[in-house]
Amino acid sequence: MTEAITRTDFVFPKQKNVYHGKVRDVYNINNQYLVMVASDRISAFDVVLPRGIPYKGQVLNQIASKFLNATADIVPNWKLATPDPMVTVGHYCKPFPVEMIIRGYLTGSSWRTYKSGAREICGVPIPDGMKEHQRFPEPIVTPTTKADEGHDEDISKEEIIKQGLVSEVDYEKLEEYTRKLFQRGSEIADKQGLILVDTKYEFGKVGDQIYLIDEIHTPDSSRYFYADVYEAHFKQGLPQKQLSKEFVREWLMENGFQGKEGQQVPEMTDEFVESVSERYIELYEQVTGEKFQRARPENILERIEKNVNSYLSDK
């Protein structure tokens, strides 16, 4: 099988520290730039699974790069360059400690919460009588706290402001940007025969300027339905054909894993890993309308190091 990059330990010039997230390794260059390497790690239920997915990092990085370019007129973003298929370099920002999640449809975790009897998510009331995958009259914003480890927690706008996590002025701006970004993402998806169902955005600041940071509209941060079968499947109560990593969560649940204490991650066979890789590539091509160009599969770490050092040498 093609090599999957599940760990990086680079030492770049003027590097201050490195943060290893669930999927991305983020290198702080002199508190001025961030070098974000999209690894091939895959997480579900806030657990990093034991095997990486070939080309997943490239897919995520290149989709995010395209959507950052396509939304730069709405809000400034952190991206400066993509010197390698798996790397974005951008502004060093101080992140807000919340993630802005926006949902156009009642599905995934929101449906699971609703089915359990809840009629409110993050302070947003949800009407009785809704069905799985039903469209909301208007998209709803359901933020979460941003946890370095473990589970992110749902939180209301009021609680965010009350706890001083984000000022009221900044929060109003974050919500405005979130709705505009979702609208733009939905318009782009529609042209590709897709529905942008839900997604998350992260923001940070440099001085007083708010920036969109991290990834945007990727299969790890977003869920897409196929538009051509949505109505028929919804009316018949059938599962939606979707492009996201929900199929990985469903496979885990079918095999008795939901990230709960004492549960074991099921064995990820070569065949399963290969199928997940192909699904990510399919999503890239469906979302962007472009053929995926697989980067050279050998000496990946050497390639990344060389490309990033070459970019930073000009800074």
Confidence tier at 244 by pLDDT (50, 70, 90) = confident
Beta-carbon contacts of residue 299 (< 8 Å; ≥ 6 apart): none
Beta bridge partner(s), residue 105: 135
Q: Is pLDDT above 90 for 243? A: no
Domain assignment present for residue 151? The answer is yes
Domain assignment present for residue 1? The answer is no
Look up residue 312 and give its two tokens: 């930073």
- Identify the domain boundary among 243, 262, 288: 243
Number of neighbours of residue 169 by Cβ within 10 angstroms: 9
Q: Are residues 282 and 222 in the same domain?
A: no
pLDDT digits (tens, 9 = 90+) for 142-192: 999 986 655 678 999 999 999 999 999 999 999 999 999 999 999 999 999
| Percent above pLDDT 70 for the chain | 98
Give CA separation, 77 vs 178, 231, 308, in Å: 13, 35, 20
Under the phi-then-psi rule, with left for phi > 0, alpha for psi from -120 to 50, and beta for the rest, what region is 148? Answer: alpha
Which is more confident, 244 or 280?
Answer: 280
Residues 254-274, mean pLDDT to the nearest whole number: 94
Q: Are residues 177 and 145 in the same domain?
A: yes
* 8 A C-beta contact, residue 143 and residue 100: yes
* 8 A C-beta contact, residue 248 and residue 52: no
Q: Are residues 174 and 79 in the same domain?
A: no
Domain assignment present for residue 287? The answer is yes
Number of domains in the chain: 2
Instruction: Tell me how many degrees the CA angle 23-46-81 measures, rounded to the nearest 5.
Output: 25
Domain assignment present for residue 145? The answer is yes
- pTM comes to 0.90
Residues 71-85, mean pLDDT to the nearest whole number: 98
pLDDT, mean over the chain: 94
- Identify the domain boundary among 205, 225, 243: 243
Domain extent at residue 20? 15-93+273-312
Domain containing residue 152: CATH number: 3.30.470.20
Q: What is the pLDDT of residue 291?
A: 97
- Identify the domain boundary among 243, 265, 293: 243
**What sign does the dihedral 229-233-239-240 (CA atoms) show?**
positive
Domain containing residue 299: CATH number: 3.30.200.20
Q: Are residues 100 and 226 in the same domain?
A: yes
Domain assignment present for residue 255? The answer is no
Q: Are residues 204 and 290 in the same domain?
A: no
Instruction: Tell me how many degrees the CA angle 220-164-151 measures, rounded to the nearest 5.
Output: 30
Give CA separation, 17 vs 28, 30, 86, 93, 207, in Å: 5, 9, 19, 14, 21
Q: Are residues 227 and 115 in the same domain?
A: yes
106-140 core/surface letters (b: 16 or more CB in 10 A; e: else): bbbebbebbeeeeeebbbbebeeebebbebbeebb
Q: Are residues 131 and 229 in the same domain?
A: yes
Q: Are residues 62 and 119 in the same domain?
A: no
Q: Are residues 142 and 49 in the same domain?
A: no
Chain-centre distance for alpha carbon 159: 24
Domain assignment present for residue 120? The answer is yes
